[in-house]
Amino acid sequence: MQTGNDSVLNGVLVLDAATYIAAPMSASILAEFGADVIKVEHPRLGDPLRRFGTKGSDPNASMQWLNENRNKRSITIDLGKPEGRDLFIALAKKADVVVENFRPGTFERWGLSWETLHGLNTRLVMLRLSAFGQNGPLREQVGLARIAHAFSGVTSISGEADRPPANPGPTSLADYVAGVYGALGVLLALFERERSGIGQFVDLALYEPMLKTMDEAFAVFDRTGFIRQRFGSQVVTVAPTANYRCSDGGFVTVGIPDDKMFARLASAIGRPELAESNSEFVTNAMRVERRTEIEAIVSAWIGSRDRDTVVRLLKDADVPSSAIQDVAELARHPQVAARENFVKRPDGAGGTITMQAPVPKLSRTPGRVTTAGPALGEATEELLKGLLGFSDAELAHLHAKGII
């Protein structure tokens, strides 16, 4: 991808040798803010994400592939062959960042260990994102987002108390959260390199960012022995807070973090006395103690009104609340339009694809989406000629041997 001189990461060269979502997501974030990201794929198989999810205009490029690998250029190299290893090393010597997410030991088996790459390019930063990290008894165990949700404890507290644990949010939530942390780790290492001149590797386990989302659960367990359980849409430490059904079948979520917000809610539902000093619900501790009663009061009020009315009345009262929207509603919401949260780009096969816009928004050097995910190997010859000076004859030799 060609970047403008005003891009934050203009001039940063990234080799993305990862597959599926988490680590490639890290590379995509870097690409959105100006890094030149080269997607390294197997010559015949490519990244399996190409075939994962809903097919787009091109049956060989899923919608998820196009979305998660935007702004990248694809090069094909068989890393399992000695000549492929040599090609990757030649590129790594010129790179600022290498991203990989293979099972620990795989890159070492290919002769591409951190020690090897760092020895040839001391300024290199390497993101190593795996299921359980580079050390520990589970380091070689296979994993994906669903496993990270379960291992981190997040699944154990997701869903209703009387039903099996539910997968939290989208299937690949852990991948996206880890993708952000991976990009953060790379940026921190690049920032430190400006002072020391020396790169380092970032070791991230897929479950670790999900572990970070478990708020005070582990501190409370350590202090009191309390084990957080599934609580549905309610919150163990505050009340009333839940997802409520409206009379028309829609849902509204309400969050009441403190007594001031509760007083606003009490007024909005026509029960200001609930927040008065002599009320048995005046403090959060009292409301948590009598959770069933206060939740029933709020649920009855919301359940007797349609969703739009509930949303309007709570908004007018400045109560933290929102309609629970589906994809169709969100796609046409005026707030989303005002924030330009979606972009539409060509999909490379004659159609277009709508994608989420870069986050966060920078006032002077914003992120950009220039292209959807690339066709397999579309930039191989361009990159090998431009970066490594290969001749047509050398490229023909590599093609013949199945290296590229």
Dihedral sign, CA of 16, 18, 24, 26? negative
Coil, strand or helix at 215? coil
Which stretches of 143-290 are DSSP H helices? 145-152, 173-196, 207-212, 217-224, 259-268, 284-289
- Which two tokens mark 379? 């930039």
Q: What does the DSSP assignment read for 261-305?
A: HHHHHHHHTT-GGGGSTT-TTSSHHHHHHTHHHHHHHHHHHHHTS
In DSSP terms, which residues pair with 127 in a beta bridge?
99, 202
Phi, psi angle pair for 109, to nearest 5°: -65, -30
Q: How far apart are CA 325 and CA 337, in angstroms?
A: 15
Dihedral sign, CA of 325, 242, 269, 266? negative
**Which conformational region is residue 369 in: left (phi greater than 0), alpha (psi within -120 to 50 degrees), or beta?**
beta
C-alpha closest to that of 36 among 87, 74, 67, 63: 74
Residues 6+ apart with CB under 8 A from 178: 22, 23, 25, 26, 129, 148, 204, 206, 208, 209, 210
**CB distance 224 to 163 below 8 Å:** no
Q: How far apart are CA 155 and CA 371, in angstroms?
A: 35
Q: Is 318 a catalytic residue?
A: no
Coil, strand or helix at 184? helix
Catalytic residue among 162, 175, 248, 308: 175
Annotated active-site positions, please?
175
